[in-house]
Amino acid sequence: MKVIYTDVLVIGGGLAGLRIAIGARRRGHDAIVLSLVPPKRSHSAAAQGGMQASLGNVIKGQGDNEDVHFEDTVRGSDWGADQQVVRMFVNTAPKAVRELAAWGVPWSRVRQGDREVIINGQKVTITERAEAHGLVAQRDFGGTKKWRTCYVSDGTGHAMLFAVGDQAIASGVPVHERKEAVALIHDGSRCYGAVVRDLMTGELTAYVARATAIATGGAGRVYRVTTNAVICEGIGAALALETGAAALGNMEAVQFHPTGIFPAGILVTEGCRGDGGLLRDANGHRFMPDYEPEKKELASRDVVSRRMEEHIRKGHGAKSRFGEHLWLDITLLGRRHIEHNLREVKEICQYFLGVDPAEKWIAVRPAQHYTMGGVRTKHTGESPTLRGLFAAGEAACWDMHGFNRLGGNSVAETVVAGMIVGEFIADFIESPQGELDIPTALIREALAAERARLDGLLAGSGTERAEALKAEMQQIMTDKVGIFRTGADLEEAVQRLQGLLVRSRNIGLRTHSDGPNPELVTAYRTQKMLKVALCIAHGALTRTESRGAHFREDHPRRDDAQWLKRTLATWKGADDTLPSLAYEPLDVLSMELPPGWRGYGAKDYVDHPDTARRAEELTRLRERLQGADRHAVQAGIMPYDHLLPERFRGRNERIDERLP
């Protein structure tokens, strides 16, 4: 029996996972990162446009601060987010940018003086302040009141991932590449690590750890049309789900990005619209102002994606042999801007569409992009139901995005959650709870169970083809569990997915090698992906309202009275074909920002009975705190500072808000 012991086992080598490992190392603990691929190839690298942090350096960001970022994020979430977690996040994001700056990220910087920008289709001259010269610059993104998105041209995630990846090497963090966790080791109440398969040799090893962190990213590949990398298959979420103890939160909350290039689904950044790009229909008409006069192209992603599909349904889509699409026009930004600030976009258009975006429009249509749901955790990143299991980043639901995430908040979350959860993991390890007292039989049994499962696939007489089951699942998800959802479609989806799950228990292989065997990998992952897909579809079927990215045509209103609650999915029995759903209510009476209109999108919703009471309470509180500074007012309404790890507390300095 091969066993490796460590303090922290991090599953996933993207930004969140690497940052957790660095944090643990800096607190004097050992950490091992498992990664399916070399860590610098993780999907974090695909974040193009930037990360939100309220530095307020550019003139269009003046006046920005944590309060504004907080409100934008909560509105974006359609009030699904945990507001204390959002507060923790917005206060740490500026620190994360500054840490990354010190680590060498070549953030694009402010240049003092006049510059020409495109706002609402018009050329406008803005003047940057002398005192901002050389500080980290911000661009505009959807759903934000201020220019807040810090960026490195349009290769932000790449630059961040390489800086953090190199810091991990500098800190001596071992990354075990091409290793895949196939099951968590646990006894129903405590997680002890994972059974890990070597993708090059097929060997199984037990990694036994005092704390285990899932940082495996999203589940986009359960859909056919997605911007996600091929490794984003939701396996981390499935590992947690298969424990029967840990829960997945809000899996039905799935984001569709407005500008996937058509038909390949490859992302072009929201920065295209943030920098002034427009959406046009088959006739060249700029249609977003017709639907969203306030925010136009820069409403939140869920709203823009829905409006685009609505416009196509009305017959205004451009037709091609692959189906209908719309156009993204960035020609008005000019060649210099595109070749400077949108160069990845330019390369992608050139290689995949054969188009120069400085001259021609880009064929786009919404594509699955982000998994708001994930392993349900407390604000510390730890599962409330499986001690010693942590999760961070897109794989987690701690829950800062609610039912829709703002652009630029995801890559920001990876590093912020990595910082915060890394500290809490170190605290956990240093506490009595973090002691490891695992019976060796538990390890042996976990290894034996996985060995038997793999041998069953390798030597078994199954007749189903994993690849075919996976393709059918992806088609069902894209067709029936997409942007517009109905009870009938979702019911059909759940039924068909259940059928696929049953059939997936009878997969047969053509390749019987236990070494590098892509067919075997597809087989065991498909079994897991189907469970995740069922959590999404079943959660969507049951939630009879529309909130954020979850839109039910048969229940088009947001219903706070019935549905201001988080879905929790667990998988009780190995032979089950459906997750068990439970609900966790959100407490309106402790909210800093009670539910209301988002400032874009639908204006009618059903109020929660507590909303009016909380609003009155807040008015009284604010009156009482009149004259106090904004930090004192905030602390009087919804304190959160005590929730943060000590080293990340404290105010953030800005040009207009100097620290003593």
Partner 1 sequence: MSDTAPAPFATAAATASGPARKLRFHVLRHDPHDPASVPHTDVFEIDEAAGMTLFIALNEIREQLDASLAFDFVCRAGICGSCGMVINGRPGLACRTLTQDLPSEITLAPLPAFELIADLSVNTGKWMRGMSERLETWVHSLEQDVDLRRIEAPMDPDLADRIYELDRCIECGCCVAACGTARMREDFVGAVGLNKIARFALDPRDARTDEDFYELVGNDDGVFGCMTLLGCHDVCPKALPLQTQIAFLRRKMARTGAGG
Decide if residue 129 touches partner 1 (CB under 8 A). no
Strand 323-329 to 362-371 pairing: antiparallel
Q: Which stretch binds partner 1 (CB under 8 A): 34-42, 492-500, 587-595, 627-635?
A: 34-42
- Nearest approach, Cβ of 134 to partner 1 (angstroms)? 3
Q: Which of residues 412-441 bind partner 1 (CB under 8 A)?
A: none
Q: Based on the residue annotation, tell me whether 115 is a catalytic residue of this protein.
A: no
Q: Contact with partner 1 (CB under 8 A): which of 189, 495, 513, 619?
A: 513
Decide if residue 314 touches partner 1 (CB under 8 A). no
Q: Measured on CA atoms in the order 374, 256, 342, 291, is the torsion positive or negative?
A: negative
Decide if residue 46 touches partner 1 (CB under 8 A). yes
Query: Which is closer to partner 1, CB of 344 or CB of 489?
Result: 344
- Nearest approach, Cβ of 364 to partner 1 (angstroms)? 11
Q: Which stretch binds partner 1 (CB under 8 A): 135-143, 181-189, 408-416, 499-507?
A: 135-143
Catalytic residue among 43, 75, 273, 365: 273
- Nearest approach, Cβ of 7 to partner 1 (angstroms)? 21
Q: Which of residues 242-281 bind partner 1 (CB under 8 A)?
A: 262-264, 266-267, 280
Q: Contact with partner 1 (CB under 8 A): which of 114, 359, 575, 604?
A: 359
- Nearest approach, Cβ of 37 to partner 1 (angstroms)? 5
Q: Which stretch binds partner 1 (CB under 8 A): 41-49, 59-67, 422-430, 574-582?
A: 41-49
- Alpha-carbon distance of 526 to 65, in angstroms, equals 44
Name the residue among 397, 431, 415, 412 with its Cα closest to residue 27.
431
Q: If binding means CB under 8 A, how many residues of this protein chain bind partner 1?
A: 103
Decide if residue 175 touches partner 1 (CB under 8 A). yes
- Alpha-carbon distance of 553 to 318, in angstroms, equals 24
Decide if residue 159 touches partner 1 (CB under 8 A). yes
Residue found by looking up tokens 């190839």 in the block: 41
Decide if residue 147 touches partner 1 (CB under 8 A). no
Q: Contact with partner 1 (CB under 8 A): which of 129, 190, 291, 331?
A: 331
Q: Contact with partner 1 (CB under 8 A): which of 5, 121, 129, 453?
A: 121
- Nearest approach, Cβ of 229 to partner 1 (angstroms)? 5
CB atoms within 10 A of CB 441: 8
Q: Which of residues 376-395 bind partner 1 (CB under 8 A)?
A: none
Q: Which residues on neighbouring strands pair with residue 52, listed in sequence order? A: 149
Decide if residue 173 touches partner 1 (CB under 8 A). no
In this structure, what is the dihedral angle of CA atoms 632, 636, 638, 641, given to the nearest 10 degrees? 50
Q: Contact with partner 1 (CB under 8 A): which of 43, 139, 306, 566?
A: 43
Strand 565-570 to 248-249 pairing: antiparallel
Q: Contact with partner 1 (CB under 8 A): which of 114, 293, 336, 354?
A: 354
- Nearest approach, Cβ of 487 to partner 1 (angstroms)? 33
CA 253 to chain centroid: 11
Identity at 572, one-letter amino acid code: K
Strand 248-249 to 374-376 pairing: antiparallel
Q: Contact with partner 1 (CB under 8 A): which of 27, 69, 95, 224?
A: 95
Decide if residue 113 touches partner 1 (CB under 8 A). no
Q: Contact with partner 1 (CB under 8 A): which of 99, 252, 489, 592?
A: 99
Angle, helices 466-480/518-542, rounded to nearest 10 degrees: 30
CA 127 to chain centroid: 34
Q: Based on the residue annotation, tell me whether 510 is a catalytic residue of this protein.
A: no
Query: Which is closer to partner 1, CB of 8 or CB of 175?
Result: 175
Decide if residue 97 touches partner 1 (CB under 8 A). yes
Decide if residue 516 touches partner 1 (CB under 8 A). yes
Distances (CA, A) of 544 to 490, 559, 560, 564, 610: 11, 9, 11, 12, 20
Q: Which stretch binds partner 1 (CB under 8 A): 95-103, 251-259, 407-415, 615-623?
A: 95-103
Catalytic residue among 257, 307, 379, 547: 257
Decide if residue 239 touches partner 1 (CB under 8 A). no
Distances (CA, A) of 177 to 180, 200, 275, 511, 587: 9, 10, 37, 23, 42
- Nearest approach, Cβ of 13 to partner 1 (angstroms)? 10
Q: Is 514 helix (H, G, I), strand (E, B) or coil?
A: coil
Written as six digits, the tokens of 389 are 């299991």
Q: Contact with partner 1 (CB under 8 A): which of 114, 125, 130, 283?
A: 283
Q: Contact with partner 1 (CB under 8 A): which of 362, 396, 443, 581?
A: 362
Q: Contact with partner 1 (CB under 8 A): which of 58, 195, 318, 494?
A: 318
CA 48 to chain centroid: 14
Residues 6+ apart with CB under 8 A from 554: 486, 487, 544
- Alpha-carbon distance of 408 to 148, in angstroms, equals 9
Q: Contact with partner 1 (CB under 8 A): which of 3, 4, 37, 638?
A: 37
Q: Which stretch binds partner 1 (CB under 8 A): 248-256, 343-351, 536-544, 586-594?
A: 343-351
Q: Which of residues 441-500 bind partner 1 (CB under 8 A)?
A: 467
Query: Which is closer to partner 1, CB of 104 or CB of 456?
Result: 104
- Alpha-carbon distance of 184 to 181, in angstroms, equals 7
In this structure, what is the dihedral angle of CA atoms 4, 8, 12, 14, given to the nearest 10 degrees? -130
Half-sphere CA count of 237, side-chain side, radius 13 A? 36
Distances (CA, A) of 387 to 199, 378, 436, 447: 28, 11, 12, 21
Decide if residue 291 touches partner 1 (CB under 8 A). no
Q: 370, 254 in Cβ contact below 8 A?
A: yes
User: Which parts of 171-234 fold into alpha helices (H)?
Assistant: none
Please state the three-class secondary structure of 439-493 as a single string. Answer: CHHHHHHHHHHHHHHHHHHHHCCCCECHHHHHHHHHHHHHHHCCCCECHHHHHHH
Name the residue among 403, 409, 365, 406 with its Cα closest to residue 552.
403
Q: 108, 265 in Cβ contact below 8 A?
A: no
Q: Contact with partner 1 (CB under 8 A): which of 361, 403, 428, 551?
A: 361
- Nearest approach, Cβ of 616 to partner 1 (angstroms)? 35
Decide if residue 527 touches partner 1 (CB under 8 A). no
Q: Which of residues 545-574 bind partner 1 (CB under 8 A)?
A: none
Q: Which of residues 635-654 bind partner 1 (CB under 8 A)?
A: 648, 650-654
Q: Which stretch binds partner 1 (CB under 8 A): 74-82, 306-314, 356-364, 491-499?
A: 356-364
CA 120 to chain centroid: 28
Query: Which is closer to partner 1, CB of 351 or CB of 597?
Result: 351
Query: Which is closer to partner 1, CB of 6 or CB of 517?
Result: 517
Q: Which of residues 210-229 bind partner 1 (CB under 8 A)?
A: 229
- Alpha-carbon distance of 463 to 441, in angstroms, equals 34
Specify the DSSP class assigned to residue 559: E
Q: Is 267 helix (H, G, I), strand (E, B) or coil?
A: strand
Residues 6+ apart with CB under 8 A from 536: 219, 222, 251, 252, 254, 373, 477, 481
Residues annotated as catalytic are: 257, 273
